[in-house]
Amino acid sequence: MSTVNGGISFWYAQEGTPPPREPLPGDTTADVCVVGGGYTGLWTAYYLKKAVPFLNIVVLEGKFCGYGASGRNGGWLYNGIAGRDRYARAHGHEAAVRLQQAMNDTVTEVVRTAADENIDADIHQGGVLEVAYTPAQLARLKAFHSVEVAFGERDRELYGARETADRVRVTGAVGSSWTPHGARIHPVKLVTGLAAAVEALGVTIHEATPVTEIKPKHAITPYGTVRAPYVLRCTEGFTPTIKGHKRTWLPMNSSMIATEPLPPEIWDEIGWAGRETLGDMAHAYMYAQRTADDRIALGGRGIPYRYGSRTDNDGRTQAATIDALREILVRFFPRLAGVPIAHAWSGVLGVPRDWCATVTLDRSTGLGWAGGYVGSGVATANLAARTLRDLIQQDSGQSGPTDLTTLPWVGHKVRRWEPEPLRWLGVHTLYAAYRTADHREASTHTPTTDPIATLADRISGRH
Ligand SMILES: Cc1cc2nc3c(=O)[nH]c(=O)nc-3n(C[C@H](O)[C@H](O)[C@H](O)COP(=O)(O)OP(=O)(O)OC[C@H]3O[C@@H](n4cnc5c(N)ncnc54)[C@H](O)[C@@H]3O)c2cc1C
Protein backbone atom coordinates (compact mmCIF):
# COMPACT_ATOMS: atom_id res chain seq x y z
CA MET A 1 0.00 0.00 0.00
CA SER A 2 1.51 3.34 -0.99
CA THR A 3 1.75 6.33 1.30
CA VAL A 4 -0.28 9.42 0.41
CA ASN A 5 2.04 12.42 0.55
CA GLY A 6 0.68 15.94 1.08
CA GLY A 7 -2.94 16.78 0.33
CA ILE A 8 -2.60 19.33 3.15
CA SER A 9 -2.70 16.65 5.88
CA PHE A 10 -4.00 13.26 6.90
CA TRP A 11 -6.58 15.07 9.03
CA TYR A 12 -8.04 16.74 5.94
CA ALA A 13 -7.91 13.51 3.94
CA GLN A 14 -9.98 11.95 6.69
CA GLU A 15 -12.47 14.80 7.06
CA GLY A 16 -12.53 16.22 3.52
CA THR A 17 -12.07 19.91 2.85
CA PRO A 18 -15.17 21.94 3.64
CA PRO A 19 -17.04 23.89 0.91
CA PRO A 20 -15.14 27.12 0.14
CA ARG A 21 -16.34 30.45 1.46
CA GLU A 22 -16.67 33.48 -0.83
CA PRO A 23 -13.59 35.68 -1.36
CA LEU A 24 -13.70 39.35 -0.43
CA PRO A 25 -16.01 40.93 -3.03
CA GLY A 26 -14.38 44.41 -2.94
CA ASP A 27 -13.46 47.28 -0.65
CA THR A 28 -15.22 47.24 2.69
CA THR A 29 -15.01 48.43 6.29
CA ALA A 30 -15.07 46.60 9.62
CA ASP A 31 -14.46 47.25 13.31
CA VAL A 32 -11.82 44.52 13.43
CA CYS A 33 -10.09 42.80 10.52
CA VAL A 34 -8.42 39.49 11.35
CA VAL A 35 -5.84 38.23 8.85
CA GLY A 36 -5.50 34.42 8.91
CA GLY A 37 -8.08 31.72 9.59
CA GLY A 38 -6.15 29.34 11.85
CA TYR A 39 -6.69 28.83 15.57
CA THR A 40 -5.27 32.28 16.42
CA GLY A 41 -7.44 34.26 14.03
CA LEU A 42 -10.58 32.23 14.62
CA TRP A 43 -10.33 32.15 18.41
CA THR A 44 -9.71 35.91 18.35
CA ALA A 45 -12.82 36.52 16.26
CA TYR A 46 -14.73 34.14 18.54
CA TYR A 47 -13.85 35.81 21.84
CA LEU A 48 -14.21 39.35 20.50
CA LYS A 49 -17.65 38.66 19.06
CA LYS A 50 -18.75 36.94 22.27
CA ALA A 51 -17.56 39.90 24.34
CA VAL A 52 -19.00 42.62 22.08
CA PRO A 53 -21.74 41.10 19.89
CA PHE A 54 -22.32 44.24 17.81
CA LEU A 55 -18.71 44.32 16.52
CA ASN A 56 -18.37 43.98 12.76
CA ILE A 57 -15.51 41.47 12.42
CA VAL A 58 -14.08 40.31 9.09
CA VAL A 59 -11.65 37.37 8.81
CA LEU A 60 -9.50 37.28 5.66
CA GLU A 61 -8.01 33.85 4.92
CA GLY A 62 -5.58 33.36 2.04
CA LYS A 63 -6.61 29.76 1.27
CA PHE A 64 -9.23 28.19 3.54
CA CYS A 65 -9.67 28.09 7.31
CA GLY A 66 -7.29 25.53 8.76
CA TYR A 67 -5.03 25.45 5.69
CA GLY A 68 -1.99 26.20 7.87
CA ALA A 69 -0.57 24.50 10.94
CA SER A 70 -4.00 24.45 12.58
CA GLY A 71 -5.12 21.84 10.06
CA ARG A 72 -1.91 19.81 10.09
CA ASN A 73 -0.57 19.59 13.65
CA GLY A 74 0.06 16.68 15.97
CA GLY A 75 -3.01 17.38 18.07
CA TRP A 76 -1.20 18.02 21.32
CA LEU A 77 -3.42 20.49 23.13
CA TYR A 78 -1.03 21.09 25.99
CA ASN A 79 0.30 23.67 28.41
CA GLY A 80 3.76 24.33 26.89
CA ILE A 81 4.53 27.86 25.73
CA ALA A 82 7.63 28.85 23.78
CA GLY A 83 9.84 31.29 25.69
CA ARG A 84 8.55 30.85 29.25
CA ASP A 85 12.03 30.43 30.72
CA ARG A 86 13.31 33.49 28.91
CA TYR A 87 10.30 35.46 30.18
CA ALA A 88 11.16 34.25 33.69
CA ARG A 89 14.67 35.65 33.31
CA ALA A 90 13.40 38.98 31.96
CA HIS A 91 10.30 39.50 34.14
CA GLY A 92 10.92 37.36 37.21
CA HIS A 93 9.85 33.92 38.30
CA GLU A 94 6.42 34.95 39.58
CA ALA A 95 5.43 36.51 36.24
CA ALA A 96 6.39 33.31 34.45
CA VAL A 97 4.46 31.21 36.97
CA ARG A 98 1.38 33.30 36.12
CA LEU A 99 2.02 32.64 32.43
CA GLN A 100 2.32 28.92 33.08
CA GLN A 101 -0.86 28.92 35.16
CA ALA A 102 -2.65 30.73 32.33
CA MET A 103 -1.47 27.99 29.94
CA ASN A 104 -2.68 25.24 32.29
CA ASP A 105 -6.08 26.97 32.40
CA THR A 106 -6.05 27.34 28.62
CA VAL A 107 -6.11 23.58 28.11
CA THR A 108 -9.26 23.44 30.24
CA GLU A 109 -10.72 26.48 28.44
CA VAL A 110 -10.35 24.87 24.99
CA VAL A 111 -11.85 21.57 26.15
CA ARG A 112 -14.78 23.38 27.82
CA THR A 113 -15.45 25.77 24.94
CA ALA A 114 -15.35 23.00 22.36
CA ALA A 115 -17.98 21.17 24.42
CA ASP A 116 -20.09 24.34 24.80
CA GLU A 117 -20.00 24.88 21.03
CA ASN A 118 -20.73 21.22 20.26
CA ILE A 119 -17.40 20.85 18.48
CA ASP A 120 -16.57 17.15 18.49
CA ALA A 121 -12.79 17.21 18.02
CA ASP A 122 -12.01 13.71 19.36
CA ILE A 123 -10.75 15.38 22.53
CA HIS A 124 -9.34 13.00 25.10
CA GLN A 125 -7.76 14.50 28.19
CA GLY A 126 -5.10 11.89 28.92
CA GLY A 127 -2.27 14.32 29.68
CA VAL A 128 1.19 14.43 28.12
CA LEU A 129 3.84 11.73 28.60
CA GLU A 130 7.43 12.59 27.69
CA VAL A 131 9.87 9.69 27.71
CA ALA A 132 13.66 9.33 27.94
CA TYR A 133 15.52 6.40 26.37
CA THR A 134 19.19 7.35 26.80
CA PRO A 135 21.07 8.33 29.98
CA ALA A 136 21.52 11.91 28.70
CA GLN A 137 17.80 12.16 27.93
CA LEU A 138 17.02 10.87 31.42
CA ALA A 139 19.18 13.59 32.98
CA ARG A 140 17.40 16.21 30.85
CA LEU A 141 14.03 14.70 31.71
CA LYS A 142 14.69 14.97 35.45
CA ALA A 143 15.90 18.56 35.10
CA PHE A 144 12.89 19.40 32.92
CA HIS A 145 10.54 17.80 35.43
CA SER A 146 11.98 19.83 38.33
CA VAL A 147 11.72 23.05 36.36
CA GLU A 148 8.08 22.40 35.48
CA VAL A 149 7.26 21.66 39.13
CA ALA A 150 9.03 24.89 40.12
CA PHE A 151 6.76 26.74 37.68
CA GLY A 152 3.76 25.51 39.65
CA GLU A 153 2.96 22.10 38.17
CA ARG A 154 2.64 20.22 41.42
CA ASP A 155 0.40 17.64 39.76
CA ARG A 156 3.18 16.53 37.36
CA GLU A 157 4.56 13.02 37.94
CA LEU A 158 8.01 11.51 37.35
CA TYR A 159 8.06 7.83 36.39
CA GLY A 160 10.75 5.17 36.28
CA ALA A 161 11.03 2.53 33.55
CA ARG A 162 8.32 0.24 34.97
CA GLU A 163 5.73 2.97 35.55
CA THR A 164 6.43 4.31 32.07
CA ALA A 165 5.81 0.88 30.58
CA ASP A 166 2.54 0.66 32.53
CA ARG A 167 1.38 3.58 30.40
CA VAL A 168 3.13 3.09 27.05
CA ARG A 169 5.67 0.38 26.27
CA VAL A 170 8.32 2.41 24.44
CA THR A 171 11.34 0.21 23.75
CA GLY A 172 14.26 1.06 26.03
CA ALA A 173 12.43 3.85 27.88
CA VAL A 174 14.18 4.50 31.19
CA GLY A 175 11.81 7.11 32.58
CA SER A 176 9.15 9.66 31.78
CA SER A 177 7.41 12.77 33.03
CA TRP A 178 3.62 13.06 32.86
CA THR A 179 1.43 16.11 33.19
CA PRO A 180 -2.37 16.09 33.32
CA HIS A 181 -2.45 19.45 31.48
CA GLY A 182 -2.79 18.05 28.01
CA ALA A 183 -5.31 16.50 25.68
CA ARG A 184 -5.31 14.72 22.36
CA ILE A 185 -7.36 16.47 19.69
CA HIS A 186 -8.21 16.04 16.01
CA PRO A 187 -6.78 19.30 14.62
CA VAL A 188 -9.10 19.65 11.62
CA LYS A 189 -12.25 18.84 13.55
CA LEU A 190 -11.32 21.62 15.97
CA VAL A 191 -10.50 24.23 13.34
CA THR A 192 -13.48 23.54 11.08
CA GLY A 193 -15.82 23.42 14.08
CA LEU A 194 -14.40 26.67 15.33
CA ALA A 195 -14.79 28.38 11.93
CA ALA A 196 -18.44 27.29 11.84
CA ALA A 197 -19.00 28.54 15.41
CA VAL A 198 -17.43 31.90 14.57
CA GLU A 199 -19.59 32.26 11.48
CA ALA A 200 -22.71 31.32 13.44
CA LEU A 201 -21.94 34.19 15.83
CA GLY A 202 -22.12 36.62 12.89
CA VAL A 203 -18.46 37.02 11.93
CA THR A 204 -17.80 37.29 8.17
CA ILE A 205 -15.11 34.94 6.83
CA HIS A 206 -13.67 35.45 3.35
CA GLU A 207 -11.51 32.62 2.01
CA ALA A 208 -9.15 32.53 -1.00
CA THR A 209 -8.31 36.13 -0.07
CA PRO A 210 -4.57 36.61 0.51
CA VAL A 211 -3.58 39.82 2.26
CA THR A 212 -0.54 41.20 0.48
CA GLU A 213 0.13 44.12 2.79
CA ILE A 214 -0.96 45.29 6.22
CA LYS A 215 -0.85 48.99 7.07
CA PRO A 216 -2.43 50.84 10.00
CA LYS A 217 -6.21 50.55 9.53
CA HIS A 218 -5.80 48.72 6.18
CA ALA A 219 -5.59 45.08 5.06
CA ILE A 220 -4.86 45.08 1.35
CA THR A 221 -5.81 42.17 -0.92
CA PRO A 222 -5.94 41.69 -4.71
CA TYR A 223 -9.76 41.98 -4.49
CA GLY A 224 -10.05 45.09 -2.36
CA THR A 225 -9.02 46.66 0.92
CA VAL A 226 -10.61 46.18 4.32
CA ARG A 227 -10.44 49.38 6.38
CA ALA A 228 -10.70 48.81 10.14
CA PRO A 229 -9.43 50.54 13.29
CA TYR A 230 -7.90 47.22 14.33
CA VAL A 231 -6.05 44.91 11.93
CA LEU A 232 -4.72 41.71 13.51
CA ARG A 233 -2.00 39.61 11.88
CA CYS A 234 -2.55 35.94 12.74
CA THR A 235 -0.49 34.32 9.99
CA GLU A 236 2.20 32.43 11.97
CA GLY A 237 4.57 30.50 9.65
CA PHE A 238 3.20 32.26 6.56
CA THR A 239 4.01 35.74 7.88
CA PRO A 240 6.97 36.14 5.43
CA THR A 241 4.49 36.25 2.53
CA ILE A 242 3.22 39.65 3.71
CA LYS A 243 5.04 42.71 2.42
CA GLY A 244 7.74 43.87 4.84
CA HIS A 245 7.68 40.69 6.95
CA LYS A 246 10.20 38.46 5.18
CA ARG A 247 12.42 38.29 8.28
CA THR A 248 9.84 38.69 11.08
CA TRP A 249 9.30 35.00 11.88
CA LEU A 250 11.07 32.08 10.29
CA PRO A 251 8.84 29.40 8.72
CA MET A 252 10.07 26.15 10.26
CA ASN A 253 8.86 22.86 8.79
CA SER A 254 7.47 20.04 10.80
CA SER A 255 6.44 16.76 9.18
CA MET A 256 4.19 13.92 10.24
CA ILE A 257 3.20 10.39 9.32
CA ALA A 258 0.06 8.44 10.24
CA THR A 259 -0.17 4.66 10.22
CA GLU A 260 -3.17 2.67 9.11
CA PRO A 261 -5.42 1.77 12.09
CA LEU A 262 -3.59 -0.79 14.26
CA PRO A 263 -5.32 -4.02 15.37
CA PRO A 264 -6.13 -4.74 19.04
CA GLU A 265 -3.31 -7.29 19.41
CA ILE A 266 -0.73 -4.59 18.64
CA TRP A 267 -2.34 -2.25 21.15
CA ASP A 268 -2.20 -5.05 23.72
CA GLU A 269 1.57 -5.03 23.28
CA ILE A 270 2.02 -1.25 23.19
CA GLY A 271 -0.42 -0.30 25.93
CA TRP A 272 -1.21 3.41 25.57
CA ALA A 273 -4.70 2.88 26.96
CA GLY A 274 -4.64 6.39 28.46
CA ARG A 275 -4.16 7.96 25.01
CA GLU A 276 -1.65 10.43 26.42
CA THR A 277 0.08 12.56 23.83
CA LEU A 278 3.59 11.13 23.62
CA GLY A 279 6.94 12.85 23.19
CA ASP A 280 10.61 12.34 23.92
CA MET A 281 13.62 14.24 25.23
CA ALA A 282 15.78 14.05 22.08
CA HIS A 283 17.16 17.37 20.81
CA ALA A 284 15.41 16.77 17.48
CA TYR A 285 12.33 15.62 19.36
CA MET A 286 9.33 13.60 18.19
CA TYR A 287 5.67 14.00 19.12
CA ALA A 288 2.85 11.52 18.66
CA GLN A 289 -0.73 10.70 19.44
CA ARG A 290 -2.96 7.63 19.39
CA THR A 291 -5.84 8.75 17.19
CA ALA A 292 -9.51 8.14 17.88
CA ASP A 293 -9.49 5.43 15.19
CA ASP A 294 -6.39 3.72 16.65
CA ARG A 295 -3.62 4.90 14.37
CA ILE A 296 -0.36 6.41 15.50
CA ALA A 297 0.25 9.91 14.14
CA LEU A 298 3.88 10.86 14.72
CA GLY A 299 5.86 13.96 13.85
CA GLY A 300 9.33 15.43 13.93
CA ARG A 301 11.45 18.03 12.27
CA GLY A 302 12.44 16.63 8.82
CA ILE A 303 14.03 19.24 6.56
CA PRO A 304 13.71 22.16 8.95
CA TYR A 305 13.68 25.17 6.66
CA ARG A 306 13.56 26.09 2.99
CA TYR A 307 15.80 28.74 1.50
CA GLY A 308 14.34 32.24 1.33
CA SER A 309 11.56 31.49 3.85
CA ARG A 310 9.55 29.55 1.27
CA THR A 311 6.55 28.14 3.03
CA ASP A 312 4.44 25.53 1.39
CA ASN A 313 3.55 23.04 -1.29
CA ASP A 314 0.20 21.88 0.07
CA GLY A 315 1.79 19.71 2.71
CA ARG A 316 4.10 17.45 0.68
CA THR A 317 7.17 16.25 2.53
CA GLN A 318 10.43 14.63 1.37
CA ALA A 319 10.82 10.85 1.01
CA ALA A 320 13.86 11.02 3.32
CA THR A 321 11.74 12.66 6.03
CA ILE A 322 9.10 9.93 5.76
CA ASP A 323 11.86 7.32 6.16
CA ALA A 324 13.31 9.17 9.17
CA LEU A 325 9.91 9.39 10.88
CA ARG A 326 9.21 5.73 10.17
CA GLU A 327 12.58 4.92 11.76
CA ILE A 328 11.54 6.77 14.93
CA LEU A 329 8.21 4.94 14.95
CA VAL A 330 9.97 1.58 14.71
CA ARG A 331 12.60 2.62 17.23
CA PHE A 332 9.77 3.31 19.67
CA PHE A 333 7.68 0.25 18.75
CA PRO A 334 9.72 -2.39 16.84
CA ARG A 335 6.58 -4.45 16.30
CA LEU A 336 5.46 -1.76 13.82
CA ALA A 337 8.31 -2.46 11.37
CA GLY A 338 6.00 -3.71 8.64
CA VAL A 339 2.89 -1.61 9.18
CA PRO A 340 1.80 0.58 6.29
CA ILE A 341 2.15 4.35 6.58
CA ALA A 342 -1.14 5.71 5.30
CA HIS A 343 -0.20 9.36 4.96
CA ALA A 344 2.70 11.78 5.30
CA TRP A 345 2.53 15.56 5.32
CA SER A 346 4.22 18.72 6.55
CA GLY A 347 3.42 22.25 7.66
CA VAL A 348 5.11 25.38 8.88
CA LEU A 349 5.40 26.89 12.33
CA GLY A 350 6.47 30.45 13.12
CA VAL A 351 9.81 30.90 14.86
CA PRO A 352 10.87 34.32 16.18
CA ARG A 353 14.59 35.11 16.45
CA ASP A 354 14.56 34.52 20.23
CA TRP A 355 12.11 31.54 20.06
CA CYS A 356 9.57 33.35 22.28
CA ALA A 357 5.83 33.40 21.53
CA THR A 358 4.23 36.80 21.81
CA VAL A 359 0.97 38.73 21.57
CA THR A 360 0.86 42.47 20.93
CA LEU A 361 -1.52 45.34 20.21
CA ASP A 362 0.21 48.53 19.12
CA ARG A 363 -2.12 51.16 20.51
CA SER A 364 -0.74 53.92 18.30
CA THR A 365 -1.56 52.11 15.04
CA GLY A 366 -4.29 49.60 15.93
CA LEU A 367 -2.12 46.82 14.51
CA GLY A 368 -2.00 43.62 16.50
CA TRP A 369 -0.40 40.23 16.09
CA ALA A 370 0.05 36.96 17.90
CA GLY A 371 2.20 33.93 17.26
CA GLY A 372 5.78 32.78 17.11
CA TYR A 373 4.59 29.75 19.02
CA VAL A 374 7.35 27.51 17.60
CA GLY A 375 5.91 23.98 18.13
CA SER A 376 3.41 24.80 20.88
CA GLY A 377 0.55 26.74 19.34
CA VAL A 378 -2.54 24.59 19.69
CA ALA A 379 -3.35 25.83 23.19
CA THR A 380 -1.26 29.01 23.09
CA ALA A 381 -3.32 30.39 20.19
CA ASN A 382 -6.36 30.34 22.47
CA LEU A 383 -4.57 32.27 25.21
CA ALA A 384 -3.32 34.74 22.61
CA ALA A 385 -6.85 35.24 21.29
CA ARG A 386 -8.33 35.98 24.70
CA THR A 387 -5.45 38.35 25.32
CA LEU A 388 -6.05 40.20 22.03
CA ARG A 389 -9.70 40.53 23.02
CA ASP A 390 -8.72 42.08 26.35
CA LEU A 391 -6.14 44.38 24.75
CA ILE A 392 -8.70 45.69 22.24
CA GLN A 393 -11.30 46.20 24.95
CA GLN A 394 -8.74 48.03 27.02
CA ASP A 395 -7.67 50.18 24.08
CA SER A 396 -11.25 51.11 23.25
CA GLY A 397 -11.92 52.08 26.87
CA GLN A 398 -14.29 49.21 27.64
CA SER A 399 -12.08 47.76 30.36
CA GLY A 400 -8.82 48.21 32.20
CA PRO A 401 -5.83 45.89 32.34
CA THR A 402 -6.75 42.25 33.00
CA ASP A 403 -4.93 39.17 34.28
CA LEU A 404 -4.16 38.38 30.65
CA THR A 405 -2.95 41.77 29.41
CA THR A 406 -0.35 41.87 32.18
CA LEU A 407 1.25 38.52 31.34
CA PRO A 408 4.95 38.78 30.48
CA TRP A 409 4.65 37.72 26.83
CA VAL A 410 2.39 40.69 25.99
CA GLY A 411 4.11 43.37 23.92
CA HIS A 412 7.43 41.51 23.72
CA LYS A 413 9.77 42.82 21.03
CA VAL A 414 12.34 40.76 19.16
CA ARG A 415 14.86 41.51 16.44
CA ARG A 416 14.41 40.16 12.93
CA TRP A 417 16.14 37.10 11.46
CA GLU A 418 19.35 37.50 9.49
CA PRO A 419 19.16 37.85 5.70
CA GLU A 420 19.90 34.85 3.46
CA PRO A 421 22.07 32.85 3.18
CA LEU A 422 22.75 33.24 6.92
CA ARG A 423 19.22 32.23 7.86
CA TRP A 424 19.37 29.00 5.85
CA LEU A 425 22.86 28.15 7.03
CA GLY A 426 22.03 28.89 10.66
CA VAL A 427 18.93 26.70 10.83
CA HIS A 428 20.45 23.80 8.91
CA THR A 429 23.58 23.88 11.05
CA LEU A 430 21.41 23.95 14.18
CA TYR A 431 19.45 20.85 13.24
CA ALA A 432 22.51 19.01 11.97
CA ALA A 433 24.04 19.71 15.39
CA TYR A 434 20.95 18.37 17.16
CA ARG A 435 20.94 15.19 15.07
CA THR A 436 24.66 14.66 15.77
CA ALA A 437 24.13 15.26 19.49
CA ASP A 438 21.22 12.78 19.63
CA HIS A 439 23.31 10.19 17.80
CA ARG A 440 26.32 10.67 20.09
CA GLU A 441 24.22 10.55 23.25
CA ALA A 442 22.59 7.30 22.08
CA SER A 443 25.84 5.62 21.04
CA THR A 444 28.07 6.70 23.95
CA HIS A 445 25.47 6.33 26.74
CA THR A 446 26.87 9.49 28.28
CA PRO A 447 24.67 10.74 31.14
CA THR A 448 25.13 14.40 30.18
CA THR A 449 23.82 16.50 27.33
CA ASP A 450 26.22 16.48 24.40
CA PRO A 451 28.16 19.79 24.29
CA ILE A 452 27.32 20.21 20.59
CA ALA A 453 23.65 20.58 21.50
CA THR A 454 24.38 23.02 24.31
CA LEU A 455 26.49 25.13 21.99
CA ALA A 456 23.81 24.99 19.25
CA ASP A 457 21.19 26.17 21.76
CA ARG A 458 23.35 29.11 22.79
CA ILE A 459 24.33 30.20 19.30
CA SER A 460 20.80 29.91 17.93
CA GLY A 461 19.37 32.06 20.73
CA ARG A 462 17.09 29.21 21.74
CA HIS A 463 17.99 29.15 25.43
C1 LIG B 1 3.25 19.45 11.48
C2 LIG B 1 2.95 20.33 12.68
C3 LIG B 1 2.70 19.74 13.91
C4 LIG B 1 2.41 20.54 15.02
N5 LIG B 1 2.05 19.94 16.18
C6 LIG B 1 1.66 20.69 17.23
C7 LIG B 1 1.14 20.08 18.40
O8 LIG B 1 0.94 18.86 18.45
N9 LIG B 1 0.83 20.89 19.46
C10 LIG B 1 0.99 22.24 19.41
O11 LIG B 1 0.73 22.91 20.41
N12 LIG B 1 1.41 22.85 18.29
C13 LIG B 1 1.72 22.12 17.19
N14 LIG B 1 2.09 22.72 16.04
C15 LIG B 1 2.00 24.17 15.96
C16 LIG B 1 0.55 24.64 15.88
O17 LIG B 1 -0.15 23.85 14.95
C18 LIG B 1 0.52 26.11 15.45
O19 LIG B 1 1.29 26.86 16.35
C20 LIG B 1 -0.88 26.70 15.44
O21 LIG B 1 -1.76 25.91 14.68
C22 LIG B 1 -0.80 28.11 14.90
O23 LIG B 1 -2.08 28.60 14.61
P24 LIG B 1 -2.19 29.95 13.81
O25 LIG B 1 -3.62 30.21 13.60
O26 LIG B 1 -1.40 31.00 14.51
O27 LIG B 1 -1.42 29.68 12.44
P28 LIG B 1 -1.88 28.76 11.14
O29 LIG B 1 -2.71 27.64 11.62
O30 LIG B 1 -0.67 28.51 10.39
O31 LIG B 1 -2.85 29.74 10.43
C32 LIG B 1 -2.43 30.84 9.69
C33 LIG B 1 -3.47 31.04 8.61
O34 LIG B 1 -3.22 32.27 7.98
C35 LIG B 1 -3.42 32.12 6.60
N36 LIG B 1 -2.61 33.14 5.97
C37 LIG B 1 -1.27 33.20 5.94
N38 LIG B 1 -0.85 34.28 5.29
C39 LIG B 1 -1.96 34.94 4.91
C40 LIG B 1 -2.19 36.14 4.21
N41 LIG B 1 -1.17 36.88 3.76
N42 LIG B 1 -3.47 36.53 4.00
C43 LIG B 1 -4.50 35.80 4.46
N44 LIG B 1 -4.34 34.65 5.12
C45 LIG B 1 -3.09 34.22 5.35
C46 LIG B 1 -2.95 30.71 6.30
O47 LIG B 1 -3.51 30.21 5.09
C48 LIG B 1 -3.42 29.97 7.53
O49 LIG B 1 -4.70 29.41 7.37
C50 LIG B 1 2.39 21.96 14.90
C51 LIG B 1 2.66 22.54 13.66
C52 LIG B 1 2.93 21.74 12.56
C53 LIG B 1 3.20 22.40 11.23
For the stretch 348-406, pLDDT in tens is: 999 999 999 999 999 999 999 999 999 999 999 999 999 999 999 999 999 999 999 99
Distance 301 CA to ligand 1 centre (A): 15
With H, G, I as helix, E, B as strand and everything else as coil, classify residue 370.
strand
Distance 347 CA to ligand 1 centre (A): 8
Q: What is the pLDDT of residues 346-363, one digit of tens each?
A: 999 999 999 999 999 999
Ligand 1 atom nearest to CA at 71: 29
Would the pLDDT of 334 be above 80? yes
H-only helix segments in 157-203: 161-167, 187-200
Would the pLDDT of 426 be above 80? no
The mean pLDDT value for 23-49 works out to 98
Ligand 1 within 6 A of CB of 76 = yes
Q: What is the pLDDT of residues 104-131, one digit of tens each?
A: 999 999 999 999 999 999 999 999 999 9
Ligand 1 within 6 A of CB of 366 = no
Q: What is the pLDDT of residues 310-328, one digit of tens each?
A: 776 789 999 999 999 999 9
Ligand 1 atom nearest to CA at 210: 42
pLDDT for 442: 81
pLDDT for 459: 67
The C-alpha angle with vertex 206 and arms to 392 and 247, in degrees rounded to 5, equals 65
Ligand 1 within 6 A of CB of 36 = yes
Ligand 1 within 6 A of CB of 373 = yes
Q: Cβ(88)–Cβ(95) under 8 Å?
A: yes
Cβ neighbors of 9 (< 8 A, separation 6 or more) are 71, 72, 187, 188, 256, 315, 343, 345, 347
Would the pLDDT of 83 be above 80? yes
pLDDT for 452: 76
Would the pLDDT of 303 be above 70? no
Cα distances from 314 to residues 192, 422, 457, in angstroms, run 18, 26, 30
Ligand 1 within 6 A of CB of 251 = no
The mean pLDDT value for 93-103 works out to 98
Angle, in degrees to the nearest 10, between helices 84-91 and 93-116: 140
Ligand 1 within 6 A of CB of 75 = yes
Pairing label, strands 128-132, 287-290? unpaired
pLDDT for 461: 67
The mean pLDDT value for 279-299 works out to 95
Mean of the per-residue pLDDT values for the chain? 94
Pairing label, strands 128-132, 157-160? unpaired
pLDDT for 432: 79
Distance 351 CA to ligand 1 centre (A): 11
Distance 241 CA to ligand 1 centre (A): 14
